[in-house]
Chains A and B, each alone.
Chain A
Amino acid sequence: MNDINPVPKRTIQIAGENALIIYFSSQVSEKTANEIKLATLKIQQTLSHYLLDLTPSYASLLVTFDMNKVDHHHLRNELRKLLATIEEVQEAHEQRVIELPVCYDIDFAPELNLIAKHAQISCDEVIRLHQSMIYSVYAIGFAPGFAYLGEVDSKIAMPRLATPRLKVPKGAVAIADRQTAIYPNVSPGGWNIIGCSPVNMFDQNATPTMPVNVGDKVKFNSISKEEFFALGGELPIFND
């Protein structure tokens, strides 16, 4: 009952009355993210008649089921069978990279200087490092469309602000530890803002609603202020 590392690879556990949770690994990795993406897709395709919802995250997948259609024993068996058919996912598995434009102009990036100072590098180097990675979408949550991307170069990793902002503008691109994200809407938040993107990360009237899904790959591309506005970006307001 007190084991320190209780989650071996791919276990299925009870979460609640109508929910099982599949743990794929005890750590975050791109490989795990790919596996979860594939499992989510396969479960959706073959077991959707039993399901109410699927909540993928960093290393797990919460499976919420309809108690009037299936019980946890049967579902667990079905999940186990299905998971057995998912081989360890190879890295180069039909990877779509979604490119998202970001304006890193200093007017749009209140914490750019802070990170540069912290890392003892120039602002341009921070911007270059932020664009140098292809990120995985590890999870979506906190708010509709808020995608947790990882991981940023360790040099530009930065702890959250001591006092969170009450209003982070829509489109703000920010860093917290080794994670980065785009705020889909105005919300409170304590991440370090290093730019803004004109891309709508959650639009309930658009198809698709979101440009990215869990397991997708994302790359940031630097754009100018002019391009930002031309792409429909709104002037971000920072009033801390």
Chain B
Amino acid sequence: MTNQNNQIDRSKQRRGLALGFLVKKPGVLSLLQDSGRYGYAQMGLTQGGPADKEAFYWANRLCENNADAAVIEVSVGGIELLAQLDTVLAVTGAVMKLCINSQEMALWRSHHIKAGDTITLDYAQTGLRCYVAVKGGFMVKASFGSVSTVCRESIGGLSGDKLSKNEILPYVEHKALANETLCLLPEQQIPQYGHSAILRTIPSYQQHHFSAFEQRLFYSSEYTVSSDCDRMGYRLQGRAIHSEVSGILSEGICHGAVQIPADGQPIVLINDRQTIGGYPKIGSVISSDTNKLAQLRPTDKVRFTPISMEKAHNIFHLACNKSHKIELLKCK
């Protein structure tokens, strides 16, 4: 993604000539996302970014993009795109039926796309969110350093909102070279999505405002994902947890923080969370596990298990190391 490309692209866009994917059907909730918006929390801007960072990473890796390239996060499914230019495409994440010109194609591998091809994603069977990447990423003007869409703030994406019909997601044309190979993630490396998750949680923040008994209750109970779950947070239902305080002075909320409001039902705050808040927090879920949480849907089950900060760092670095070392298989 060179600067020059960007400039050409933007001037085309001004003249209304940018080509890429024409959105025929936007689906339930399809959002442009790059790795997120950092450095603007002081203005009240949240971070956004992919709810499942692992699937996002693989979508870009399969297109040989840099790790920050903009992709479409398709939640629930139901999207139809018409390609106006040749490119390479990869879809990762939830089990959604991918079709190119009505022919079913595999997820977790790259495909050649020709101008005129129609790409559809059906509704998710297992998991919730897919990531659609093209070679070079989508070329959209960044707002506050990122193209990540946060609907609540009307910032990012093409218009500060989810994709809508007839919008065009521009990318740079890539004509397939003779003998150009495609990539495939080895099957045993593909993450499995289910209907439950264990969320490893660092006891932190206001844990001292929860008695030892309440903490034990929290870490030994099963919770159900409620219908009130979105990119801001996942509200859970189950055993109520009580804090000694009903509120605290509003303070910064980190990714994965588990907030306990007055009704005692935990809320795990993720990408589009408010930047500050005044409910006590019992701990924070590690990012490897918020990836799994973001693939769950209402009625799915979660449990929390406490881990130390040291362990959390180990898990993070081992996971990074492992994914960087995985070699993609070449295919035609």
Contacts and interface: CB of A to CB of B under 8 A. Distances in A.
A67 interface: yes
Contacts of A214: 42
Interface stretch (B22-30, B80-88, B309-317): B309-317
A68 B320 contact: yes
Interface in A58-94: 58-62, 64, 67-68, 71-72
A18 to B, nearest CB: 7
A59 B153 contact: no
A14 B42 contact: no
Contacts of A139: 250, 276
B44 A15 contact: no
Contacts of B39: 52-53
B317 A16 contact: no
B212 to A, nearest CB: 6
A8 interface: no
A81 B38 CA distance: 25
A67 B317 contact: yes
A46 interface: no
A100 interface: no
Given A17-B287, A59-B249, A143 B44 contact: yes
Interface stretch (A115-123, A170-178, A202-210, A232-240): A202-210
Interface in B107-160: 143-144, 152-153, 155
Interface string A31-61: 0000000001000000000001111111111
B309 A57 contact: no
- B144, B253, B257, B316 interface centre (most CB from chain A within 10 Å): B253
A67 to B, nearest CB: 6
Contacts of A140: 42-44, 275
A224 interface: no
B315 to A, nearest CB: 9
Interface of A: 1-4, 6, 13-19, 21, 26-28, 40, 52-62, 64, 67-68, 71-72, 139-146, 148, 202, 204, 209-210, 213-214
8 contacts: A16-B202, A17-B254, A19-B284, A21-B205, A53-B47, A55-B41, A143-B152, A144-B43
Given A6-B208, A204-B155, 16 more contacts: A2-B208, A14-B309, A15-B257, A16-B286, A17-B286, A18-B254, A18-B255, A53-B41, A55-B42, A60-B251, A61-B252, A72-B309, A140-B44, A141-B277, A142-B276, A145-B44
